[in-house]
């Protein structure tokens, strides 16, 4: 009875009190959310160099250095490691902060492998084929002439055993590798004379690094290696007759159209080069599982993001090169493509025979390539041909009636 009186008397007050409490709590929650959003946008890269966040007490923060083979903020290639550092910072709420160093800032471009191996830096970003002298198999993890496209390479890495083999190849060097970017199919390069037959390759002095250079030499040319910064002057002064670099987006920025007449495609030498993230093994093992997952996901994100960026920007740059700068776009003749392909098969076979790990990786690469090639005959390749068919037929009908 007393209890019931109490309820009748006080229940309106209790309900009002509860309502007031609800309003207060939701207000606090909204404030908290907007604070978090403010932090979120700061973490997106507008504080200092974009890699410092203060959301976490400093005691819990892990600071890593990432050395790269690219000039600081180099378009595409150099923005990928910066993007990765920012993603890791944001996903870890500032618990793992990575500071990115351009080539030469901490170690020279070609010192990245050793620096990460020795723990001078915890991470690196570059291309595995730069380390062919130490790890002959590394070519397969970057680009093989007439090998995988970007999609195929990524499929082999993540679903075809490629990444496991890469880890095995790098284990003796205290390194854990991850795929960290792809430029997509490159261009065959810039030439000052037309290439109409295999005879035109004889004595051709061309800057073309890695296995592509080996292939050109086997086909009668002379392969030269030099850093990107020297290409413009070397072409201008005739030190070289031709050069490959990347594709329209990067080549336009370099001004190569000012010193060469013909722009050839397709980039048989680098059809889908994979870039690498390397992590010092002890540093990797010291990370808790959630931060390891964050690093893996961030690498996977930049791997795709770089390809998207190149696909979008190459398009625009190629249009500008042709329409505004009058660049002569040329396709390599079939005979030249076949001759280069034959030389590439030999070069890859010889590379595999030179080293047991390279032989093991080559087996896996070859098996995957045969399967994916078969499938792409009826998918990617068949579709792209089918998409062009209507316009091709219309063009040939128009030509026939003229
Ligand atoms: Ca290249």
* Mean pLDDT score, 249-253: 95
Q: Please give the distance, rounded to the nearest whole angstrom, from the Cα atom of residue 138 to the centre of ligand 1.
A: 16
Write the burial class of residue 51 (CB in 10 Å: 0-12 exposed, 13-18 middle, 19+ buried). buried
More confident residue, 32 or 394: 394
- pLDDT of 39 reads 35
For residues 182-200, give the mean pLDDT. 97
Q: How confident is the model at residue 310 (pLDDT cuts 50, 70, 90)?
A: very high
Query: Quick check: 96 and 53 in contact, CB under 8 A?
Result: no
Cα–Cα distance between 167 and 296 in angstroms, integer?
14
Pairing of the two strands 62-68 and 242-243: unpaired
Relative to beta strand 222-224, strand 205-207 is parallel
Nearest to 100 by CA among 73, 120, 60: 73
Residue 209: what pLDDT?
85
**Residue 71 banded pLDDT, cuts 50, 70, 90:** confident
pLDDT of 47: 37
pLDDT at residue 16 above 60? no
Cα angle value 375/380/386 (rounded, 5°):
120
Q: What is the 8-class DSSP label of residue 272? A: S
Query: Has residue 31 got a pLDDT over 70?
Result: no
Q: What's the whole-number average pLDDT of the chain?
A: 89
Q: How far apart are CA 129 and CA 138, in angstroms?
A: 5
Cα–Cα dist 295/58, whole Å: 20
C-alpha 244 – ligand 1 centre gap (Å): 6
The answer to whether residue 9 scores a pLDDT higher than 60 is no
According to DSSP, the residues that pair with 107 across neighbouring strands are: none
Q: What is residue 228's predicted lDDT score, i.e. its pLDDT?
A: 77
Distance from Cα 390 to the centre of ligand 1, integer Å:
33
Residue range 93-121: average pLDDT?
Answer: 96
Average pLDDT over residues 241-261: 96
Q: Quote the CA–CA distance of 325 and 313 in Å, as a whole number.
A: 17
Measure 272 CA to ligand 1 centroid, in angstroms. Answer: 10
Cβ density class 202-236: b for 16+ within 10 Å, e for less? eebbbbbbbbbbbbbbbbebbbbeeebeebbebbe
Mean pLDDT computed over 258-266: 97
Mean pLDDT for the stretch of residues 295-312:
97
Compute and round to an integer the Cα radius of gyration of the chain: 27
The pLDDT tens digits for 277-291 are: 999 999 999 999 999
* Distance from residue 188's CA to the centre of ligand 1 (Å): 8
Question: Which residues have a beta carbon within 5 Å of ligand 1, which is an ion?
Answer: 186, 244, 270
Q: Sign of torsion, CA 248 249 250 256?
A: positive
- Per-residue pLDDT, averaged over 104-133, amounts to 95
Q: What is the mean pLDDT of residues 204-211?
A: 93
Report the separation in Å between the CA atom of 186 and the middle of ligand 1, taken as the mean of its atom positions. 6
Distance 239 CA to ligand 1 centre (A): 19
Q: What is the mean pLDDT of residues 360-378?
A: 97
Taking the complete model, does pTM exceed 0.95, yes or no?
no
Vertex 262 angle, CA 260 and 266, to 5°: 125
Residue 22 has pLDDT above 90, yes or no: no
Burial class (CB within 10 angstroms; exposed 0-12, middle 13-18, buried 19+) of 294: buried
Report the pLDDT averaged over residues 33-51.
Answer: 37
Predicted confidence (pLDDT) at residue 20 exceeds the cutoff of 60: no
pLDDT band at 36, cuts 50/70/90?
Answer: very low
**What was the pLDDT predicted at 377?**
96
CA of 346 to the centre of ligand 1 (A): 20
For residues 150 and 278, what is the distance between their CA atoms, to the nearest angstrom? 19
CA dist 81 and 136 (Å) reads 25
Strand partners, 109: none
Upstream peptide bond of 303 is cis (omega within 30 degrees of 0):
no
Ligand 1 midpoint to CA 147 (Å): 14
3-state secondary structure at position 401: coil
What would the mean pLDDT of 383-388 be, rounded to a whole number?
96
Chain-centre distance for alpha carbon 310: 9
Q: Kindly state the percentage of the chain with pLDDT values over 90.
A: 80
Domains of the chain and CATH, by start: 59-182+273-308 (3.40.190.170), 189-271+313-368 (3.40.190.10)
Local confidence band at 213 (pLDDT 50, 70, 90 cut-offs): very high
SS3 label, residue 306: helix
Phi-psi sector, 246: left (phi>0), alpha (psi -120 to 50), beta: alpha
Residue 58 pLDDT level (bands cut at 50, 70, 90): low
Q: Who wins on pLDDT, 68 or 26?
A: 68
> Mean pLDDT across the stretch 190-200?
97
Q: Which residues share a beta bridge with 263?
A: 190, 329
């Amino acid at each position: 009875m007393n209890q019931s009186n109490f309820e009748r008397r006080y229940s309106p007050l209790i309900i009002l009190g509860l309502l007031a409490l609800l309003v207060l709590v939701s207000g606090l929650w909204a404030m908290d959310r907007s604070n978090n959003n403010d932090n979120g946008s700061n973490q997106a890269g507008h504080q200092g160099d974009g890699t410092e966040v203060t959301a976490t007490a400093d005691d819990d923060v892990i600071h890593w250095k990432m050395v790269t083979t690219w000039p600081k903020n180099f378009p595409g290639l150099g923005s990928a490691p910066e993007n990765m550092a920012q993603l890791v910072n944001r996903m870890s709420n500032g618990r793992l902060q990575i500071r990115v160093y351009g080539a030469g800032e901490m170690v020279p471009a070609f010192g990245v492998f050793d620096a990460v191996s020795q723990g001078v830096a915890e991470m690196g970003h570059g291309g595995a084929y730069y380390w062919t002298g130490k790890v002959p198999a590394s070519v397969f993890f970057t680009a093989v002439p007439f090998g995988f496209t970007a999609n195929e390479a990524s499929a082999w890495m993540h679903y075809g055993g490629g990444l496991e083999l890469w880890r095995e190849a790098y284990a003796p060097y205290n390194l854990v590798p991850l795929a960290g970017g792809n430029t997509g199919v490159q261009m065959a390069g810039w030439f000052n004379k037309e290439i109409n037959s295999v005879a035109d390759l004889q004595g051709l002095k061309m800057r073309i690094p890695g296995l592509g250079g080996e292939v050109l030499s086997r086909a009668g040319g002379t392969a030269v290696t030099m850093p990107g910064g020297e290409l413009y002057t070397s072409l201008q002064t005739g030190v070289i007759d031709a050069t490959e670099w990347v594709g329209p987006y990067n080549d336009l920025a370099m001004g190569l159209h000012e010193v060469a007449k013909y722009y050839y495609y397709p980039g048989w030498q680098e059809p889908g080069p994979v870039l690498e993230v390397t992590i010092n093994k002890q540093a990797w093992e010291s990370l808790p599982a959630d931060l390891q997952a964050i690093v893996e996901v961030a690498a996977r994100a930049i791997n795709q993001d770089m390809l998207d960026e190149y696909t979008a920007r190459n398009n625009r740059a190629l249009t500008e090169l042709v329409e505004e700068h009058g660049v002569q776009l040329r396709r390599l003749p079939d005979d030249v493509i076949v001759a280069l392909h034959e030389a590439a098969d030999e070069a890859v076979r010889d590379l595999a025979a030179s080293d047991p790990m390279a032989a093991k990786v080559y087996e896996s690469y070859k098996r995957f390539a045969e399967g994916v090639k078969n499938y792409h005959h009826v998918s990617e390749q068949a579709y792209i041909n089918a998409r062009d068919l209507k316009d091709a037929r219309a063009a040939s009908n128009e030509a026939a009636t003229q």
